[in-house]
Amino acid sequence: MKHVLDGKMGVQMRGLVKIGLIIILAMVVFGAGLLFYFKQGADISLLQNHLQQPTEIYDLDGNLASTITGNKSEGVAIEEIPDHMKQAVVSIEDHRFYEHHGIDYQGILRALVKNAKAGSIVEGGSTLTQQLVKITMLESERTLKRKVEEFFLAQEVEAEYTKDEILEMYLNQVYFGHGAWGIKKAANIYFSKEVSELTVAEGALLAGVINLPSKLDPYKNLDGAMKRRDLVLSRMAEHGYLTDDEEAAAKKDEVTLLQGEQMTDPLKGKYPYFVDHVLSEASSKYGIELEELLTKGYKIYTTLDQSMQQATETVYANDANFPVGTSTDQLVQSGAILLDPKTGGIKALVGGRGKHQFMGYNRATQLTRSPGSAIKPLVVYTPAVEEGYEITTPLKDEKMSFGEYEPTNLSGIYKGEVPMYEAVMNSLNVPTVWLLNEIGIDKGLDSLKRFGIPYKKDDRNLTIALGGMDKGVSPLQMAGAFSTFANDGKRLESHAIIKIENIEGKEVGAWEEKATNVTSKGVVDKMNTMLLGTVEYGTAKNAAVSGYEVAGKTGSTQVPIEGISGVKDQWFIGYTPSLVGAVWAGYDKTDEKHYLTTHSSEGSAIIFQKIMSQALRNQASQSFNTQDIGPLIAEQQALIAEQQAKKEEVQRKQYWIDKGNQIREGLNKWKDWEVPW
């Protein structure tokens, strides 16, 4: 019986072995096939091309307008890099670099053992060659497919290039933190030096940053960077690159950080603020990381109009075009944007005055300030016209309060009643607040939403009629909103990018039109009539451009400091049938020593006029084909003159009546007078 059982178990065991062998064979065949597939696809021909080709920005006509790069084109040759710098990187990142052929199997095994003992990932097994492949030729997501591609590409790179060539490409591509792509920029940004001038201690610090460039940024975490530097120096001594005395001396060296000139704008190119916005849009809308945009040779086709961009930059280069503030220790800042109302395409933008900082604060797109009276057409007058109010409808213009809120007219003059177009034209505050109260705040906020202007829950009160907002808006948002008036009531979402192609010419992103029907053409025609009047007859006369119909609205906000009468923000948003422009001016930080002393009619409106005068030179004049309020103003003035004449006639008659009564009273006194003798 026992032998029978043993026989059966033996048969079963042989069966299991056979099955196991079949499974193993299948896995081997599958693995071989998988490896063959990836081996066939291991193409490094793009590596050298990528290193030589920057990302390119094209204008609306498909012409190359600007380039941006963080790769070898701004790097240094391997001969110019000190031996100690190369040794530092090899020691800390891949000490068997000169022994392996792209894949360090010993390093992988060593890392597996260390990580197993630690219970977490404390060491990686990637070689410098693998890192080069990853940062130059592969997508950033961590997948099995990417790791297998990396495995074969690294070996192909080793077969094609020498160790010095690989190290040169690596050092000119790797990120050293703080906006420094490549060793040349790192030496400049951290030490204001050429690469050849780096000391052993400085080179070791830079080599140490590579592993965690954001966490070990010396400007943000000097202690962490120094500890890592000392580890690098120890590794250099361990692998024979430094003697014990040299190691000790280098560890005693103090580090003095000194930013070089490139820190303010590490990636030089034309139209820097426009390029900044393109990079931001590519990242936020199309999910492409900044690192990839700066290193992987994309072609980005945009809505840029180079002549308009140049016109805007020319105006911003002349300090005389800008309002003067109360202090000269800081620049009065400004941001401007030009938009095509028919497409939503950004034609030009400048995000500030003075020296540009790469990917810094862009006041044309990132600013959030109260728009002041510039918001009136969006939140009050458009919904009022939609509710049936006519441009000649009389509005109350007298001192009044709405609960605890008591708005006032800037001029201090109140006429009792004014037609709507006059309230818009002269930017009268009290009639505007009164009108929003009449139509209801909810209608105003609904209109604001359709115009694409964001607001907070706390903004639901009458102060929003005059631009009172918790957060505020940007010139880009205001230009987008006003584009509705130049496009028959339809608003197209603003954008700068038309399409993006990768280095292989494959389209990886494209703009899809997004339109909002804000209001009707009939309402727009009435709004255009009033806003044309604002430029021709009202507060925005300084924004007029000779030979062109320009409509628009001024806006100013007051300094929110008790005892100071000054201006915090100046706005002007204006448009023709073919172009919309928005301009903001003010201090980045307003306080008791930094504010403006003029209103938007004397500042932002003038900036707008200078920009548009040049930007429109190549465009034919177009008409809004709407009513001119000139005759209405003349009629109103004639009526006022007639009423004044009648008033004066009544006053004159009353004067003579009073005089006659006085004379009669005098005569009566003489008539009754008795002679004393």
pLDDT in tens, 475-489: 999 999 999 999 999
Residue 493 banded pLDDT, cuts 50, 70, 90: very high
Position 603 confidence tier, pLDDT thresholds 50, 70, 90: very high
pLDDT tier for residue 219 given thresholds of 50, 70 and 90: very high
For the record, the structure tokens of 254 come out as 């103090």
Convert 246-283 to b/e letters by CB count within 10 Å (16 or more is b): ebeebbeeebeeeebebbebbbebbbbbbbbbbbbbbe
Q: State the pLDDT at residue 62.
A: 96
**Residue span of the structural domain in which 675 resides:** 640-677
Q: Please report how the helices 429-439 and 441-450 are oriented relative to each other, as an axis angle in degrees rounded to 10.
A: 100
Question: For 322-357, how does the pLDDT look when each residue is reduced to its tens digit (9 = 90+)?
Answer: 999 999 899 999 999 999 999 999 999 999 999 998
Q: How many CB atoms lie within 10 A of CB 414?
A: 17
In a domain, 199, yes or no: yes
- C-alpha span between 562 and 134 (Å, rounded): 58
Q: Tell me, rounded to whole angstroms, the distance of Cα 580 from its chain centroid.
A: 18
Q: How confident is the model at residue 9 (pLDDT cuts 50, 70, 90)?
A: low
Highest mean pLDDT among 252-256, 327-331, 420-424: 420-424
User: Of 104-113, 257-266, 582-591, which gets the smallest average pLDDT?
Assistant: 257-266
Determine, yes or no, domain membership for 173. Answer: yes
Cα–Cα distance for residue pair 295/168, rounded to 1 Å? 15
Q: How many helices (H) and strands (E) does the chain have?
A: 23, 14
Q: What does the DSSP assignment read for 408-422?
A: --TT----EEEEHHH
One-letter amino acid at 102 equals: G
Task: Kindly state whether residue 555 falls inside one of the protein's structural domains.
Answer: no
* Domain-ending residue, one of 211, 237, 264: 264
Domain boundary among 264, 294, 312: 264
Q: Among 252, 181, 179, which residue's Cα sits nearest to residue 219? A: 179
Considering 66, 126, 370, 373, which one is annotated as catalytic? 373
- Give 665's pLDDT tier (boundaries 50, 70, 90): confident
Q: Evaluate whether 383 touches 446 at the Cβ level (below 8 Å).
A: yes
Answer with the residue of higher pLDDT: 223 or 631.
Answer: 223
Give me the mean pLDDT over the 518-533 stretch: 97
- Say which range, 364-368, 487-491, 636-640, has the weakest mean pLDDT: 636-640
The predicted pLDDT at position 319 comes to 95
What confidence tier does 630 reach under pLDDT thresholds 50, 70, 90?
Answer: confident
- Residue 121 confidence class, pLDDT cut points 50, 70, 90: low
Copy the structure tokens of residue 566: 């000054």
Q: State residue 246's pLDDT score.
A: 96
pLDDT at 136 exceeding the cut of 90: no
- Residue 325 makes CB contacts below 8 A (sequence gap 6+) with 332, 587, 594, 595, 596, 597
Q: Write out the two tokens for 23.
A: 């499974």
Lowest pLDDT segment from 188-202, 363-377, 501-515, 647-661: 647-661
**Does the pLDDT at position 49 exceed 70?**
no
Instruction: Kindly state the average pLDDT of the residues 446-473.
Output: 96
pLDDT reported for residue 277: 97
Q: Which of 26-30, 622-626, 651-655 has the lowest mean pLDDT?
A: 26-30
- For 556-581, the pLDDT digits (tens) are 999 999 999 999 999 999 999 999 99
Q: In sequence order, what E strands does 85-188 have?
A: none
Instruction: State residue 165's pLDDT score.
Output: 93
Q: According to the model, what pLDDT value does residue 267 have? A: 45
Q: What is the 3 state secondary structure string of 575-616?
A: ECCCCEEEEEEECCCCECCECECCCHHHCHHHHHHHHHHHHC
Residue 344 CA to residue 362 CA, distance in Å, equals: 19
Does a structural domain hold residue 170? Answer: yes
What pLDDT is recorded for position 245? 96
Residue 387 in this model has a pLDDT that exceeds 90: yes
Least confident span in 264-273, 340-349, 377-386, 433-442:
264-273
β-pairing, 515-517 vs 551-558, is unpaired
Over residues 194-215, the mean pLDDT reads 95
Higher pLDDT, 77 or 440: 440
Q: How far is 561 from 591, CA to CA, in rounded Å?
A: 8
Over range 71-89, report the average pLDDT: 84
Provide the H-helix boundaries in 426-494: 429-439, 441-450, 475-482
CATH for 187:
1.10.3810.10
Domain boundary among 208, 238, 264: 264
Whether the per-residue pLDDT at 290 is higher than 90: the answer is: no
- When pLDDT is averaged across residues 258-270 and rounded to a whole number, the result is 60
Q: Is residue 645 part of a domain?
A: yes
Q: What percent of the chain lies above the pLDDT cut of 70?
A: 83
3-state SS record for 181-240 = ECHHHHHHHHHCCCHHHCCHHHHHHHHHHCCCCCCCCCCCCHHHHHHHHHHHHHHHHHCC
Catalytic residue among 93, 150, 168, 313: 93
Please give the pLDDT value at position 122: 47
Confirm whether 330 is domain-assigned: no
Quickly state the pLDDT bin for 529 (edges 50, 70, 90).
Answer: very high
Confidence of residue 296 (pLDDT cuts 50, 70, 90): confident
Where is pLDDT greater, at 431 or 639? 431
Residue 222, in any domain of the structure: yes
Sorted by sequence, the CB contacts under 8 Å of residue 619 that are 6+ apart come out as 576, 578, 579
d(CA 602, CA 587): 16
**CA-only gyration radius of the chain, Å:** 36
Q: What is the pLDDT of residues 22-34, one digit of tens each?
A: 565 445 444 444 4
> Cβ(55)–Cβ(501) under 8 Å?
no
Q: Is the pLDDT of residue 383 over 80?
A: yes
666 vs 403, residue with greater confidence: 403
Section 362-382 average pLDDT: 97
Other C-beta atoms lying within 10 Å of the C-beta of residue 211: 14
Mean pLDDT of 410-422: 95
Report whether pLDDT(266) > 70.
no
* Catalytic annotation present for 373: yes
C-alpha distances (whole Å) from 435 to each of 21, 429, 441 are 86, 10, 10
- Which pLDDT score, from 0 to 100, does residue 34 have? 47
Mean pLDDT of 351-367: 94
Q: Output the pLDDT for position 512.
A: 96
What pLDDT is recorded for position 33?
46
Confidence of residue 550 (pLDDT cuts 50, 70, 90): very high
Count of domains observed in the chain: 2
- pLDDT in the model for residue 672: 60
Mean pLDDT of all residues belonging to the chain: 87
* Whole-number pLDDT of residue 37: 45
More confident residue, 160 or 39: 160
Does 657 reside within a domain?
Answer: yes
